Structure formats: C-alpha cells, structure tokens
Amino acid sequence: MSKHLLSPLPGTFYRRPSPDKPPYKNDGDMVAEGEVIGLIEVMKSFTEVKAEAAGRIVKFIADNEEPVMAGQPLAEIG
C-alpha cells in the first residue's frame, strides 16, 4: 500500500542538496526510514524532508524548486 510523504511546512521543495549535486532520490529508488529525500526552503532556512517509513519511491509528486504548501504530497512511497 502506497503512502504519501507530505511537506512539513510551506516553502520551496528541493530534490537536491545544491544545484550542482545529484538528487537525494529518484523515482524507483529505495529509501530507509529517516532518510533525507529533499529540502524545504523558507526565507533562506532549509529543513530536511525525511522518509517516515522504509520503502520504494513510486514517484515524486512535487517537482524540484516547486513552491509547496504544508501537508502537500511530495512523493509517493510504496
């Protein structure tokens, strides 16, 4: 059963630690509970987004550098 990983706060979602680095995770990648899958930036302050459960990332719902709201689905984990 798939679960959605939700944004903990409003801001800009980043899938990479910096523009010159690869994404934390891609569609189809395995993820461990507590593993970082992205960042939310609010006023130059970055908060890590961590997987709440282990599984496989079915797909990212939010795009890199997309504005998101608190509670918005970022990725689907199966």
- Predicted confidence (pLDDT) at residue 28 exceeds the cutoff of 80: yes
pTM exceeds 0.85, yes or no: yes
The residue type of 13 is F
Q: Calculate ∠ Cα 61-9-60, nearest 5°.
A: 10
**Percent over 90 (pLDDT), the chain:** 95
**Other residues' Cβ atoms within 10 Å of the Cβ of residue 78:** 10
- The architecture of the domain spanning 3-77 is Beta Barrel (2.40)
Per residue in 55-69, pLDDT tens?
Answer: 999 999 999 999 999
